[in-house]
Amino acid sequence: MDTTTLERDLRAYRPDGAPSLPEHFVWPRYEGLSVGNLAATVGQALGVTLPGVLPPLRGDLLDGLLDGVQRVVLVVIDALGWGQLQDVMSRRPDLVFHRLAAQGRLWPITTTFLSTTNSVLSTLHTGRPPLEHGLLAYSMFLREWQMAVESISFSTILRPFTGTLAEWGFEAEKFLPVPALGQLLAAQDVASYALTLDGFVKTPLSLMHNRGMQDVFGYATASDFWLMLRRILEQRPGRSFVSAYWNAVDTLAHRLGPLDESGDAEIVSLALLMEEIFLNRLAPAARAGTLLLLTADHGQITTPPGSAILLDRHPALLDALFVPPLGESRVPFFYIRDGRYEMVRQYLDEHFSHQFVFLSQDEVLRSGLLGPGIPYAEVPHRLGDIVGIAIGDAYFARAEELLKKQPMLGRHGGLTSQEMLVPLLAVRLDA
């Protein structure tokens, strides 16, 4: 197996009974070729079995790297798509990623669906597919709160990132219906630690994901990120798992688009700092038995303003919904008023079928796109009645979104290869 063959297989794969989707869509590979398989792989590397999680990565991907592992470091670079990393590496043969790939492995794998941060990180930190953990998208209708919320800070969509629900008694640690990876590892005497941006340490999403962690550390800058990661390894010996998250590639891609030079510059900067501050200075004792895994939660696709479907221009559609479309702008969830389903389905097919594929709730639940298993009870209520999936660069937006001084020129959530294919770099630091 080589990367070209694996990438071709990932692009072409369709499971038996899958709904008819465009050929360029990439199917999430929950059976062993996705970020969803990393939790079990962490357990496998550390010699423990984690109950209830998705299976580990396919054996040939990490063959020979798991023997004698005492610590696993998982670095998640938000929005570092497989194609973007390949482009940067092709122009920079001196980049440390080439050396690390030669020492270990560098593969394309898929993310999960929806290809969006809070859902994918929830799978990474629980080992469960979205179908089971229920955190499906950036915004959802929560039946238990009778409210449409953005599900990072868990605030009403009318006042995002204000911590509204926490003020009203929302308990983040109890929201996900499945245990976190830190809890599963702690039950088997494996310590775990998290490293994230200072401002994210106490967010509801972090509190959900970091349950069971022995310590959670914050950082301020990219240099601080790699320095803190090095210190965690050097100052906390023993069998352990370390999760580290970097967000800036995603931030730049949203603002300027994933093809902008700023994204390449950020990746190069991260690689240089990684080499100089982390790899070159890491103490030998901290290298021993340490497996480094570097991946991403998703990629991004360029979404120019001209590709927006402006909801304000479709009052008949909005009138048939009891809340505006939620989910993601590229994977909208339509929550339909009683008796209006056929009207909405016909309207969507007539007006947007060249830009979106539309599936019923039941089709999505049966498709396997959200993973295997038994759906969490709230998933159907959060998913909506009809789900759209963008075919190209289209997205749904309100007119005022495009009047902002800095509109989002990059987005994600869908099934294109730009959004779904991410890298998996695996290397032993004692090699």
How many angstroms separate the CA atoms of 358 and 324, rounded? Answer: 16
Quick check: 401 pLDDT over 80?
Answer: no
Q: Supply the pTM of this predicted model.
A: 0.97
Going by pLDDT thresholds of 50, 70 and 90, the confidence category of residue 399 is confident
How many angstroms separate the CA atoms of 227 and 128, rounded? Answer: 31
How many angstroms separate the CA atoms of 43 and 408, rounded? Answer: 38
Q: What's the average model confidence in pLDDT over 324-344? A: 97
pLDDT of residue 214: 97
Going by pLDDT thresholds of 50, 70 and 90, the confidence category of residue 367 is very high
Among 162-166, 299-303, 340-344, 348-352, whose mean pLDDT is lowest?
162-166
**Could you tell me the strand order of the sheet in which 139-142 lies?**
155-156, 147-150, 139-142, 326-328, 331-334, 386-390, 356-360
Identify the DSSP state of 376. P
How would you classify residue 13: left for phi > 0, otherwise alpha for psi between -120 and 50, otherwise beta? beta
Q: What's the average model confidence in pLDDT over 262-267? A: 96
Contact 176, 184 (CB under 8 A): no
pLDDT of residue 200: 94
Contact 101, 271 (CB under 8 A): no
Q: Amino acid identity, residue 53?
A: V
pLDDT of residue 164: 85
How many angstroms separate the CA atoms of 73 and 212, rounded? Answer: 16
How many angstroms separate the CA atoms of 347 and 321, rounded? Answer: 12
Quick check: 166 pLDDT over 90?
Answer: no
Residue 305, class by beta-carbon neighbours within 10 Å (0-12 exposed, 13-18 middle, 19+ buried)? middle
How many angstroms separate the CA atoms of 408 and 253, rounded? Answer: 8
List the Cα angle 86/91/92 in 5-degree steps.
Answer: 95
Q: What's the average model confidence in pLDDT over 93-103? A: 97
Checking 43-52 for CB contacts under 8 A at 24+ apart, the result is: 43/184, 43/185, 45/69, 45/72, 45/291, 46/70, 46/72, 46/185, 46/190, 46/239, 46/241, 48/185, 48/188, 48/190, 50/127, 50/181, 50/184, 50/185, 51/184, 52/127, 52/128, 52/178
**What pLDDT digit, counting tens, does each position of 222-249 carry?**
999 999 999 999 999 999 999 999 999 9
Q: Amino acid identity, residue 303?
A: T
Going by pLDDT thresholds of 50, 70 and 90, the confidence category of residue 405 is low
The candidate with the shortest Cα–Cα distance to 389, out of 36, 113, 41, is 113
Pairing relation of β-strands 301-302 and 215-219? unpaired
Tell me the average pLDDT of the chain: 96
pLDDT of residue 167: 86
Quick check: 138 pLDDT over 70?
Answer: yes
pLDDT of residue 403: 62
Quick check: 137 pLDDT over 80?
Answer: yes
pLDDT of residue 76: 98
**What pLDDT digit, counting tens, does each position of 372-396 carry?**
999 999 999 999 999 999 999 999 9
Quick check: 404 pLDDT over 80?
Answer: no
Return the percentage of the chain with pLDDT > 70, whole number. Answer: 99
How many angstroms separate the CA atoms of 367 and 298, rounded? Answer: 20
pLDDT of residue 44: 98
Angle separating helix axes 117-124 and 38-45, nearest 10 degrees:
30
**What pLDDT digit, counting tens, does each position of 49-93 carry?**
999 999 999 999 999 999 999 999 999 999 999 999 999 999 999
Contact 241, 185 (CB under 8 A): yes
Counts of helices then strands in the chain (DSSP H, E): 18, 18
